[in-house]
Amino acid sequence: MASSSSSQSWIYDVFLSFRGEDTRKTYVDHLYNALVQNGIHTYKDDEALPRGETIGPALLKAIDESRIAVIIFSENYANSSWCLDEVTYIMERKDERGQIVMPIFYHVDPSEVRKQKGKYKEAFAQHELENNKRVEAWRKALKEAGNLAGWESKLVANGHESKGIKEIVNTISSRLFPVFNVNEDLIGIETRLQDLKSQLEIGSGGVRMVGIWGVGGGVAL
């Protein structure tokens, strides 16, 4: 049984799993910047990996320390045995530690991931030729991840990438910081709260002090 997420000590809010050759300088770069700008402490390997540290153990440790794992499934994600090991480990953490997993299907259909069709079928054909003993575990992990509720980039915000990323970041933020959910009738308050979150750098450690100045007789709760 997965342990309660509230009892865990998380270092990062979000861990990003992605195929660098596909998305590092494009979609993932924009997503990462949007997360950081919204005060969400995010692990992306080329931003947080200490120079000279072995990539495997460092990334596995970062997964363990992350509240949410966001997996960006792109066309060539399954070509990388490391990416497949990564998603397998993430799905294990989901079951064992109650980690939240949110997939983004970037220019691929969820069924391609779930059933290993198209480019994913080609990638697995190559893995099987190499007699890789991890294929069965990889297939199981992709099936489970492909069945999770997530986002298809072509459908979010009608395919507009910047608007779609904003929508995804807002959803992630609401999962991390439910205290910031506000009445939609309070016009303009959401933007102000997003700015406050960014300035507080929530999740980055340390202590912050906030002073509230109001009219005489006002009560802050």
Answer yes or no: is 181 within a domain: no
Place of tokens 């109001």: 214
Answer yes or no: is 68 within a domain: yes
Q: Is residue 52 part of a domain?
A: yes
Tell whether 126 is covered by a domain.
yes
What mean pLDDT do residues 162-180 have? 88
Is position 103 within any domain?
yes
CATH number, residue 136? 3.40.50.10140
Instruction: Say how many domains are in the chain.
Output: 1
* Least confident interval from 48-62, 133-147, 190-204: 190-204
Q: Does some domain include residue 192?
A: no
User: Taking the model in full, what pTM does it have?
Assistant: 0.78
- Describe the chain by its helix, strand, coil percentages, rounded to 5: 50, 10, 35
Please state at what angle helix 135-146 crosses helix 81-97, rounded to 10 degrees: 60
pLDDT digits (tens, 9 = 90+) for 73-120: 999 999 999 899 999 999 999 988 889 999 999 999 999 999 999 999
What pLDDT does residue 3 have? Answer: 43
- Looking at the domain assignment, is residue 72 inside a domain? yes
> Residue 178: what pLDDT?
73
One of 53, 75, 86, 130 is an active-site residue; which one? 86
Q: 21 catalytic, yes or no?
A: no
Between 27-36, 49-58, 66-75, 150-159, the lowest mean confidence (pLDDT) is in 49-58
- Measured CA to CA, the distance from residue 118 to residue 74 in angstroms comes to 12
Instruction: Please report whether residue 115 resides in a domain.
Output: yes
pLDDT at 49: 58
Instruction: Please check whether residue 43 is in contact with residue 12, taking contact to mean a CB–CB distance below 8 angstroms.
Output: yes
- How far apart are the C-alpha atoms of 54 and 95, rounded to whole Å? 26
Nearest CA-CA partner of 124 in 160, 80, 184:
80
Domain membership of residue 59 as a residue range: 5-175
**Separation in Å, CA 65 to CA 5, 59, 60, 93, 114:** 12, 10, 9, 10, 26
Mean pLDDT score across all residues of the chain: 84
Token digits for 200? 């507080």
pLDDT value, residue 177: 81
